[in-house]
Amino acid sequence: MTIAAAVIRETGRPHPFTESRPLEVEQLTLEGPGRGQVRVRMASAGLCHSDLSAIAGIRKKPVPAVAGHEGAGVVVDVGEDIEDLHVGDHVVMVFVSACGTCEPCVAGRPALCRTSWASRADGTLSDGTRRFIDASGERLAHWSGISAFAEEVVVARASVVPIDPAVPLLDAAVFGCAVTTGVGAVLNTAKVQPGDHVAVTGLGGVGLSAVMGAVLAGASRIIALDLEPAKRELALSLGATDAVDPRDPDQLANLIDSTDGGVDVSFEMAGAAAATRTAYGLVRRGGALVLGSLPAPGVALELPQAAFVSDEKRVLGSYMGSSVPARDIPRYVELFQRGRLPVDRLRSATLPLSEINAGFDRLSRGEAVREVIDFGIDG
State the pLDDT at residue 299: 84
pLDDT tens digits, residue range 221-271? 999 999 999 999 999 999 999 999 999 999 999 999 999 999 999 999 999
Q: Name the band, by pLDDT with cuts 50, 70 and 90, for residue 298.
A: confident
Phi and psi dihedrals of 94, rounded to 5? -120, 125
Q: How far apart are CA 77 and CA 32, in angstroms?
A: 8
Contact between 94 and 156 (Cβ < 8 Å)? no
State the pLDDT at residue 32: 97
Contact between 62 and 180 (Cβ < 8 Å)? no
| Mean pLDDT of all residues in 185-212 | 98
Radius of gyration of the chain from Cα atoms? 20
Q: How far apart are CA 7 and CA 63, in angstroms?
A: 9
| Mean pLDDT of all residues in 358-368 | 96
Return the percentage of the chain with pLDDT > 90, whole number: 93
Angle at 287 between CA 226 and CA 243, to 5 degrees: 20
Contact between 201 and 275 (Cβ < 8 Å)? yes
The alpha carbon of 108 is separated from its chain's Cα centroid by a whole number of angstroms, namely 20
Give pTM, 2 decimals.
0.97
Question: Which residues 6+ apart lie within 8 Å of 44 measured at CB?
Answer: 71, 72, 73, 169, 170, 172, 173, 372, 373, 374, 375
| Mean pLDDT of all residues in 23-46 | 98
Domains and CATH numbers, the chain: 2-163+342-374 (3.90.180.10), 182-318 (3.40.50.720)
- In a 13 Å sphere around the CA of 361, the CA atoms on its Cβ side amount to 16
DSSP 28: E
Q: What are the counts of helices (DSSP H) followed by strands (DSSP E) for the chain?
A: 13, 18
pLDDT tens digits, residue range 43-55? 999 999 999 999 9
Q: How would DSSP label each residue in 166-202?
A: TS-HHHHGGGGTHHHHHHHIIIIII---TT-EEEEE-
Mean pLDDT (the chain) is 96
Does position 145 have pLDDT exceeding 80, yes or no?
A: yes
Does position 161 have pLDDT exceeding 70, yes or no?
A: yes
Report the DSSP beta bridge partners of residue 72: 44, 92
State the pLDDT at residue 305: 86
Q: How many CB atoms lie within 10 A of CB 94?
A: 30
Q: How far is CA 307 from CA 277, 286, 299, 314, in A?
A: 14, 10, 21, 9
Q: Name the band, by pLDDT with cuts 50, 70 and 90, for residue 379.
A: low
The alpha carbon of 334 is separated from its chain's Cα centroid by a whole number of angstroms, namely 19
| Mean pLDDT of all residues in 175-189 | 98
State the pLDDT at residue 264: 98
Top pLDDT among 78 and 302 is at 78
